[in-house]
Every structure is written in C-alpha cells, then in structure tokens.
Amino acid sequence: MSGRVALVTGGAGGIGTEISRKLAQEGYRVVVTCAPVFECPNLEEWKRLRKEEGMDIPVYEADVADFESCKAAVEQIEREVGPVEILVNCAGITRDSTLKRMTPQQWNEVIDTNLNSVFNMTKQVFTGMTDRGYGRIVNISSINGRKGQFGQANYSAAKAGMHGFTMAIAQEGVSKGVTVNTISPGYIGTEMVKKIPEEVLKKIVAQIPVGRLGKPEEIARVVAFLVHEESAFITGANIDINGGQFIH
Ligand code: CAA
Ligand code: NAP
C-alpha cells in the first residue's frame, strides 16, 4: 500500500503484533512503539520473529501515558522513517477492581494509559496529516467501553472516552482527508485476558454466542480495512467485533 508509514502503539502486544504483521504484509512501512524497554523483556525475540517472517519493523520506546515521551518518539520516527500517515492507538492496560476497592492509582494509571494516551499520540501526528491532506487513525477501544463491565469502572470510562475523542476528531479531519474510527473488540485471547481469574473467564466465555474468545487476527483485518485508501468515506464510526456478546 504505497509504503505509507503506519505507527502502531502497543504494537508488540497480543493484538498489536497481529495489526503490525497484517499492515506490513499489506505493504505499509510499519513502526511499532512499546513502553520503555525495561517493560519489554521479549522485544529482541519479537524483532527476530518478525525478521524471520521477512518483516523489518523498527521499534521505538514511547510511554503513551506521557505526552513528552510521545512527542520525542514521533519526532524521531518522522526523522528516521518518514511522516506518519496511519496511527493505530492500541496500547492499553487493565487494573481491574470493584469501585469499593479501586485506588486512585488504579484509576489514574488506566485513564493515563488508555485515554490520555490517545490525545498524547494523536496530537503529535494530526496536524501533519491534515496539512498533507491524508491520514488514517484507528483507536482500539473495547466492548467494555460500550456496555460497562463489573470491576472495570476505570477501563470502561477510558474506553468509552476513546470513542468520544474519535467522533470529535473525525469532524476536525473530515475535510482534510483524515479519517478517524474506533474498533471495539470483545474478549480476545491475549495476555490481557489471561490475567482474568479462570472461573471468572469461564463465565464470560459462556456469554459469547460464537462460543470462544476472539483472535487478534480478527481485529487486525478490520484495522487493515479501515486504514485502506479506499475506506475514505468511513469516519467517526465504531465497529464492534465481539462474537455477538454485545449487539446494539
Ligand atoms: N456481575 C454481578 N456481580 C458480580 C459480577 C458480575 N459480572 N462479577 C462478580 N460479581 C459478584 C460476585 O458474585 C461476588 O458476590 P458475593 O460477594 O455475593 O459472593 C462479588 O461480586 C465479588 O466478586 P469477586 O469475588 O470476583 O470480587 P473480587 O474483588 O475478587 O474481584 C474483579 C473483582 C477483579 C473485578 C473480578 O471479578 C474480575 O476479574 N472480573 C473480570 C473483569 C473483566 O471482565 N475484566 C476484563 C479484563 S480483559 C479486558 O479488559 C479486555 C477487554 O477489553 C475485553
Ligand atoms: P497486551 O498484549 O497486554 O498488549 C498491550 C500493549 O500495550 C503492550 O504492547 C504494552 O507494551 C502496551 N502498553 C501498555 N502500557 C503502555 C505504556 N504506558 N506505553 C506504551 N505502551 C504500553 O494486550 P492486548 O490484548 O493486545 O490489548 C491491546 C489493546 O486492545 C488494548 O488497548 C486493550 O485495551 C484493547 N482490547 C483488548 C481486548 C482483549 O480482550 N484482549 C479487548 C478489547 C480491547 P509493553 O509490552 O511494552 O508493556
């Protein structure tokens, strides 16, 4: 796809890896950011696996919760690789707890990493996109931002906020060739979901009509669809991918 630069935050995580692989396979120049290296112990292994698959994907450090860190990373990426034309905001965390037990730290970490991150990253690339007249932004939200989830007041608030951001920025980009969309995955089989206690997860899977967890590839293919040049008429939308767990 004409070698456009695609930046995927959290691009070495469970869903991010499949998004990165899919976009690289489709001919984008993919660049991944991950949290500062001490949190990425498997990074060298990740790069080696991509090389084996014929993909040379540079990885830059950026703490998405920190505006200055995002600014420095994007400046470096644009200097070394080129202007970012596609941004996938995929980095995220959970700090699950009932509200009764939730600490301000658990609240703030999730809001900073899952919602403020979207401002921190998009702010670095949006003006360049509108000035050049082309851009694609995809925000990875969640089913739990759509319906709320017991034990996830922080996460549900942040993920719902992401789509508010999408709808606002979509209006600012629409006449300048920049589309902004949200994807709301259901429960996908990654490390994030593996942290849920087994008994609790069993009950959740029983509520998924398709009868299983989703696969990261099932998210990646929709990202590829949305960032395609021919998807220019889709903006401000939310796409649910949840095996029928929440139909609205
Ligand atoms: N609805 C109503 N009541 C519920 C409930 C639910 N969904 N889940 C638990 N309860 C009840 C329990 O039955 C229990 O009741 P009693 O006190 O009467 O026995 C009470 O609430 C406390 O439940 P727990 O024992 O589970 O409480 P806990 O403090 O040990 O754990 C929790 C709370 C951490 C939130 C735990 O329930 C949990 O991990 N839940 C899963 C939350 C979840 O779905 N996280 C998704 C993570 S992955 C992700 O976020 C990706 C994505 O986007 C989909
Ligand atoms: P994951 O494997 O845990 O990946 C999360 C990624 O986010 C990791 O690469 C992690 O980087 C990165 N990250 C976390 N904090 C960061 C920070 N401060 N700065 C930069 N990067 C940071 O989880 P996943 O399932 O692939 O989740 C990816 C996205 O999809 C998240 O936004 C999540 O909320 C969303 N989602 C997931 C599901 C699901 O069921 N799995 C469902 C709906 C939505 P490090 O490895 O360097 O820490």
Per the rule left: phi > 0, alpha: psi between -120 and 50, beta: everything else, 133 is left
**Predicted local confidence at residue 135, as pLDDT:** 98
Q: Kindly give the number of the ligand 2 atom that is closest to the alpha carbon of 11.
A: 9
CB 131 within 8 A of CB 172: no
* Domain at 191, CATH number: 3.40.50.720
In a domain, 248, yes or no: no
Q: Residue 66, Cβ neighbours under 10 Å: how many?
A: 18
Neighbouring residues of 206: CB distance < 8 A, sequence distance ≥ 6 = none
Looking at the chain, the whole-number percentage of residues with pLDDT higher than 70 is 97
Query: Looking at ligand 2, which atom is closest to the CA of residue 94?
Result: 34
Segment 130-145 shows an average pLDDT of 98
Please answer whether residues 6 and 234 qualify as being in contact, where contact means their C-beta atoms are separated by less than 8 angstroms: no
Tell me which ligand sits closest to the C-alpha of residue 69.
2
Q: Looking at the 3D structure of the chain, how many domains does it have?
A: 1
Structural domain contains residue 247: no
The residue-averaged pLDDT of 8-33 equals 97
Average pLDDT estimate for 208-232: 98
> What's the whole-number average pLDDT of the chain?
96
Q: State yes or no: pLDDT of 69 exceeds 70.
A: yes
* Residue 181, domain extent: 5-241
Residue among 22, 57, 93 to mutate when testing ligand 2 (max atoms within 8 A of CB): 93
Catalytic site residue from 60, 134, 155, 187: 155
C-alpha 23/C-alpha 220 separation (Å) is 8
For this structure, is 187 an active site residue?
no
Q: What pLDDT score was predicted for residue 204?
A: 97
Contact 182, 81 (CB under 8 A): no
Evaluate whether residue 246 is within a structural domain: no
pTM score, whole prediction: 0.97
CA of residue 41 to ligand 1 center, whole Å: 30
Mean pLDDT of 80-94: 98
pLDDT surpassing 80 at residue 227: yes
Predicted local confidence at residue 37, as pLDDT: 65
Residue 107 maps to a domain: yes
pLDDT in tens, 170-204: 999 999 999 999 999 999 999 999 999 999 999 99
Calculate how far, in angstroms, residue 151's C-alpha sits from the geometric centre of ligand 1: 5
Q: How far apart are CA 201 and CA 196, in angstroms?
A: 6
Mean pLDDT of 56-67: 96
Residue 19 has pLDDT above 70, yes or no: yes
Helix and strand element counts for the chain (H, E): 10, 7
Tell me whether residue 179 is in a domain.
yes
Domain-embedded: residue 123: yes
For the CA of 155, the closest atom of ligand 2 is 34
Query: pLDDT band for position 42 (50/70/90)?
Result: confident
